[in-house]
Every structure is written in structure tokens, then in C-alpha cells.
Amino acid sequence: MAEAGSIHGHGEARVQGALVAALGRERALRLESGVELGPFTIAYQTYGRLDAERRNAILICHALTGDQHVASRHPVTGKPGWWESMVGPGRVIDTERYFVICANVLGGCMGSSGPTEIDPASGKPYGLAFPVVTIADMVNAQALLLDHIGIPDLFCVIGGSMGGMQVLQWAASYPDRVFAAIPIACAARHSAQNIAFHEVGRQAIMADPEWRNGDYLSFGTNPRSGLAVARMAAHITYLSETALHRKFGRNLQNRERITFGFEADFQVESYLRHQGSTFVERFDANSYLYITRAMDYFDLAAEHGGVLAKAFSGTRTRFCVVSFTSDWLFPTRESREVVHALNAAAANVSFVEIESDKGHDAFLLDEPEMFKILRGFLEGSAEHRGLRR
């Protein structure tokens, strides 16, 4: 049901079922590092139709390992989109009412420019020659994509986890292009513990000899083991202890008793191994390095003299901040800090902490209270914006 529509401009190509915009051709994108990036590509999907006034666009920002396939089948895994519970006809983000855009982040591995893509300068895959990007760079690239598509401003920008970081950055960088913003299960800066977990994942990848100092695409190798370990470590942080206990406890995997060995005796081990091995089928190790780094570097207050409220001063965006009680990766107190800053900036903000034992991943799951709250928030915002029903 992805509709490219007639609004897409020149310089478009379809790669693996996604639209790919060629950007930064006339003028390079200046990254936060100072590097000038251009030309570059952003792969994206759209769903629904842009209205005549071009005012019903919702941008969905994906998390660390997500991509543009938010509500359509993934071309590699064949699985449904990663947020089909939220996005689709009649869903909270109703594709019969809104024009939905979801773009692979800069640095990603699903068609946007990143370490797996060909460096136009060398004709070889970028690898570590790709510049390190930030959340602000991702957002700036998305803003150029909107220019390219021809969308002056967004009705709403929404995302969870790293997607939520992008939402906050959008509201800070482009206040006039964001009518409503929904940052979910995120923070205005990455914590020491979260940086630490990311560093473990990166070290696991870089310790894999197949990584070849990041040049594995040239060598025809793939640091699968390292990436799988990185994923396993990260995956634990996406769940709550309660959820792990409820799902697996100390249950054994297809056996009556422990085997006194190092096979996956416990279901939780088998589950984790599966998470690791399926992940490497769809994700790139260098992209994992780049995107975790972008999250580590995220600190919205730092850009504003250490005062988060200044990031939102004068904002007219309507915010709905969402957290989950059992999320220990982005605990509620970090959402509260965002809310306090928004309050200090006299912003229009709703905040809800949702009771859930599903941990950080709750934002991706069937959470009726989240759906209900966001449906209400979007309907109210649509009314304020004067969108037709």
C-alpha cells in the first residue's frame, strides 16, 4: 500500500521497493562534524495521500535498528512493517487521513547514504570513510527530503527511542515546520549507562576479525559474530526484567533437564541467540557503529548552553511526551526532564507515563493506552490545524 504518488520529484529511483531521493547535489549538507556531504541519498517510504494544502504530513522517525518500512513488508526479512500496529488505514496514524513519510536515517543501511553505500569520490563502499553523523544531521537530511518532496511543514513528527531523539531535534531545529511532536521512550541526552552499552556493542563488532577495520565489504567478509553479540547485549536492555521473567523465567529449551554444557539450555539463551542471528541478516555492522555513535553524541541541552529549555524557547509546537514505567533504557525521569524543559519554555505539552511491564520495547508493541492517548492527541491537534476529516 505504499503510494509513491505523483508528487515525487526528479532524481527518484526505487531500490528494494523504497523510494530513494538524491539530495545535496546543488549544495552539500554541512554535517555537525564540519564535513560537507553531497551528493547523498535518503531512502524513504510514503503511505496515504498528501492533501491539496500539503498540511497532513506525518514524519515517522525510526529507532536504532529500524528503517523506512514502517507499515509495509520488509524487503529483506519479508516481515510486516515495524509499526503496523500504529500505522495504517484506520490505525492511530491513519493512512487514509494522513500522508505518512518514513525515511531511513543518514548512516543507515537500507538505501540512505551510509557506510555500506558507494562513496562517489572513490567508487568503493564508504566503510569508515563515511563521516560520523549526529541526530541533528539525520534531521537536517530529512528536512532536505521534505523540501525535495515539496512539504513545507509537518503536521506531526513522531518516533520512539532514537526516533524520539529525532523528534526533539526536529522541534528544536525547525520549530516552524513542526505543528505537533510526539517523542516516545527517549531522552534529551544519552546517559552514561546507555553509552556504555553501546560501547560494548561496538567493541564486540570491532573485535571480530571479519570486521577488517571497517573495510569488510571490500574484503568480502562480514563481522556477523560481533554484530550478533552486539545485538544480544542491546536486546536485553530493550526488555524489562519482569518481561524476561514472564516470557522465559528459567524454563528449559526443548529439554527435560540441564545438559551440563554450553548449549542453549535455557529458553532465554535460545531466544537471545535467535535475536542475534536474525539481526545480522538484515543489518550492517558499520551502520550499527555509526548510529549508536549518533545516539551517544545526542545532548540537546549542550547545544544550548546546557539549558534544555532554550532548545524550545518560543516554540509553538504541541508536544505529547510518552514514557513507560518499566523502560530502564530511557526511564521516565528522562522524559520528565524533557517535560520540565518544555514547561519552562511555556510550551503546549501533555505528558503520560504508561504502565507497562514490557520495558523499552513497549513503544513498538500492542499498548492500548498508548494508542488511545496518541489517537486523542492527534485528533485534537488535527482539529487545531484545521485538517479536514
Residues lying near its own copies in the complex (CB under 8 A) are found at: 32-33, 35, 128, 131-132, 189-193, 195-197, 199-200, 202-204, 206-209, 225-226, 228-229, 232-233, 236, 239, 241, 244-245, 247-250, 258, 260-262, 264-266, 268-269, 272-273, 276, 289, 293, 296-297, 299, 328, 331
- At closest approach, how far in Å is the CB of 144 from its own copies? 20
Closest to 205 (Cα-Cα) out of 185, 231, 183: 231
Q: Dihedral sign for Cα 267, 271, 274, 280, please.
A: negative
Q: Which helix (H) or strand (E) holds 389?
A: none
In 13-161, where does DSSP find H-type helix? 135-149
Residues whose CB falls within 8 Å of the CB of residue 353, separated by 6 or more in sequence, listed in order: 322, 323, 324, 325, 332, 335
- At closest approach, how far in Å is the CB of 249 from its own copies? 6
Q: State which residue, 28 or 132, has the beta carbon closest to its own copies.
A: 132
- Joined grid coordinates for residue 41: 541519498
Residues whose CB falls within 8 Å of the CB of residue 203, separated by 6 or more in sequence, listed in order: none
Q: Dihedral sign for Cα 240, 242, 247, 253, please.
A: positive
Tell me the chain's radius of gyration from C-alpha atoms.
21
- At closest approach, how far in Å is the CB of 222 from its own copies? 13
The CA distance from 26 to 260, in Å, is 64
The CA distance from 41 to 22, in Å, is 5
Q: State which residue, 271 or 377, has the beta carbon closest to its own copies.
A: 271
Q: State which residue, 170 or 288, has the beta carbon closest to its own copies.
A: 288
Q: State which residue, 222 or 348, has the beta carbon closest to its own copies.
A: 222
Q: State which residue, 122 or 259, has the beta carbon closest to its own copies.
A: 259
- At closest approach, how far in Å is the CB of 141 from its own copies? 16
CA distances from 338 to 185, 321, 370 (A): 11, 8, 18
Query: Which residues does the annotation mark as catalytic?
Result: 161, 327, 360
Residue matched to cell numbers 488535527? 382
- At closest approach, how far in Å is the CB of 208 from its own copies? 7
Whether residue 39 is preceded by a cis peptide bond, meaning omega within 30 degrees of 0, is yes
Closest to 61 (Cα-Cα) out of 273, 279, 298, 226: 298
CB 267: neighbour CB atoms within 10 A?
A: 16
- At closest approach, how far in Å is the CB of 41 from its own copies? 21
Q: Which helix (H) or strand (E) holds 13?
A: strand 12-15
- At closest approach, how far in Å is the CB of 271 from its own copies? 8
Q: State which residue, 7 or 301, has the beta carbon closest to its own copies.
A: 301
- Joined grid coordinates for residue 312: 524550545
- Joined grid coordinates for residue 119: 562513496
